[in-house]
Structure 1
Amino acid sequence: MAGIPLIPPGLEHFLGVDKVHVKETRESLFQSYSTFDLLTADDRLVYRAEEQRDCCGPRFDIRIRDIQGYDVFNALLPSDFCSCETRMVVSVPTGMPLGYIDRSWGSLTSSFTLLTSLGEPSLKVHGGGWSFMSDKNYEITAYNDNVILGVITHVWRGVRKEMLSSKDYYTIQFPSDLDVKIKALLVACAMLIDYLHREQRRQSNNSS
């Protein structure tokens, strides 16, 4: 059986790129699903992402399409019915995996391990810790050491924008020569972080 090609169709937009902006494009406060624009450092739109919602489906399912509307990859986190399941699967439209994201818990924050399609650990994304009215950074390091290779930043947009809009904004910085499949995993990781933030806010609002 043929495996994933070196550059899966649609991921060529990640070639030579060292920064991606992930901007939420929620149309209204009543929109129950998340949508995002993915842009390069020069603000060139390359992908759009849309969360899929199904009451009996997975708890997180997001599809990333190119600007022509063709599916490029998707990220899937299984249903809450298996609460011990913390592995996200990132795959191409045919179902072949690009890789996986494992979540682990620390005393205050979550961290993430990015694995290749063969299940081999590649990178770690370290929890952002506590922040107040400032950017929140998640350091990207090689799996076997603490050499910083990049960062996922949850951007603080200022008091006024944060109060008036629930749209989140992330930047992802990584080496330009990183495998495009791993770049796709980092994009999926940023969206997983956003999902966890939204769930945390929802639970906080429900308990207040």
Structure 2
Amino acid sequence: MAYQDGQNQKSRGLPGFLPGYPDPDQSHPTVPSNSRKQVSLQSLPPPGNLPPGLEYLSQLDLIIIHQQVELLEMILGTETSNKYEIKNCLGQRVYFAVEESICFNRNFCSPLRSCTLRVTDNTGREVITVHRPLRCTSCWCPCYLQELEIQAPPGTIVGYVVQKWDPFLPKFTIQNENKEDILKIVGPYATCGCFGDVDFEVKTINEKITIGKISKYWSGFVNDVFTNADNFGIHVPADLDVKIKAAMIGACFLFDFMFFEHSLAGL
């Protein structure tokens, strides 16, 4: 399976595809298979050159994003600002994200709305800022498709997520701060996710190797019908650049807006 092939090459093959890494033939430290059990919020690596606040991301190969259920949204049917908890594989909250947008945009522009998502750590410090302008999603508007700007820390651009034109599949590119293509994300033809998970595969630029995935987990028929609260999982190599992991968190927010904002629409 392509995903398994990508995982098998995590220690050697992946760094060669990312700018700034040493030669792929050189040896690289690997993460033990039981690393998920050893991860804790207290065991942070030294800061080094990592963006402040993102040190903990360097340990994670699974990032869970849980959208909070909004009671007012369930009762009145109006779209409220999205809020997300970002957790590790043990369910410990690492970050918290809040959407900033205008009420008019949320209820009339809906999935296309412009907004800013502010990601804070457990001390309340803002560590990631995601800016989303108002843009199109239709394949009939290839020159004005979706684009996110990711800053970490706020004010310092570390990457972009850019939608690419394709008549059949949702395709996106993760770019660095210089707008150089780093990785591609390819989604399925059908993204409704009525009775199962929806996987967006993370691939190398040539799309030959799958190194991870962003999954929208199916939360059950009742929850999908009566709430817009979604659960996502980002599966990536633990040694992937934290800036790219931050961009993938932004991509996860974008997918939620684009494809899963209205649960009833997918049924």
Q: Under a length normalisation based on structure 1, what TM-score does the superposition of the two structures give?
A: 0.86
- What pairs up with 1:125-164 in 2 under 5 angstroms? 125-130=185-190, 131-164=193-226
Structure 2 counterpart of 1:63, from 115, 118, 121 = 118
- What pairs up with 1:182-197 in 2 under 5 angstroms? 182-197=244-259
Alignment correspondent of 1:100: 160
Count residues in correspondence.
Answer: 200
- What pairs up with 1:27-38 in 2 under 5 angstroms? 27-28=70-71, 29=73, 30=78, 32-38=80-86
Aligned counterparts of 1:203 and 1:120: Cα–Cα separation in 2:
37
Change (3 A) 1:18 1:46: same
Cα deviation code 1:2-29 (max 9, x no counterpart): xxx8300000110121000000013222
1:198 deviates by 4.6
- Can you give the 5+ residue segments of structure 1 that lack an aligned partner in the other structure? none
Secondary structure of the residue aligned to 1:15 is: helix
Residue 133 of structure 1 aligns with an amino acid whose one-letter code is F
- What pairs up with 1:169-208 in 2 under 5 angstroms? 169-198=231-260, 201=262
C-alpha contact 2:116 2:130 (8 A) present in aligned 1: yes
From the two aligned structures, give the one with the greater strand fraction: 1
Which of the two has higher C-alpha Rg?
2
Correspondence 1:78 to 2:133: yes
Change (3 A) 1:79 1:160: closer
Aligned counterparts of 1:153 and 1:125: Cα–Cα separation in 2:
11
1:155 deviates by 0.6
Aligned counterparts of 2:238 and 2:227: Cα–Cα separation in 1:
32
- What pairs up with 1:10-25 in 2 under 5 angstroms? 10-25=53-68
From the two aligned structures, give the one with the greater helix fraction: 2
C-alpha contact 1:78 1:85 (8 A) present in aligned 2: no
1:106 deviates by 2.1
Change (3 A) 1:70 1:31: farther
Change (3 A) 1:202 1:166: closer
Residue 149 of structure 2 aligns with an amino acid whose one-letter code is V
C-alpha contact 1:122 1:142 (8 A) present in aligned 2: yes
Cα deviation code 1:31-67 (max 9, x no counterpart): 51100000011111100001101358x7131111101
Cα deviation code 1:140-179 (max 9, x no counterpart): 0111342010011111111122223221110010000000
Cα deviation code 1:166-206 (max 9, x no counterpart): 2111001000000000000111101100011255x39969x
C-alpha contact 1:102 1:112 (8 A) present in aligned 2: yes
1:117 deviates by 1.0
Residue 186 of structure 1 aligns with an amino acid whose one-letter code is M
C-alpha contact 2:194 2:218 (8 A) present in aligned 1: no
Secondary structure of the residue aligned to 2:188 is: coil
| Aligned CA-pair RMSD | 2.6
C-alpha contact 2:197 2:215 (8 A) present in aligned 1: yes
1:85 deviates by 5.3
- Can you give the 5+ residue segments of structure 2 that lack an aligned partner in the other structure? 1-47, 106-112, 137-142
Alignment correspondent of 1:109: 169
Residue 184 of structure 2 aligns with an amino acid whose one-letter code is K
Q: Under a length normalisation based on structure 2, what TM-score does the superposition of the two structures give?
A: 0.68
Secondary structure of the residue aligned to 2:50 is: coil
C-alpha contact 1:129 1:136 (8 A) present in aligned 2: no
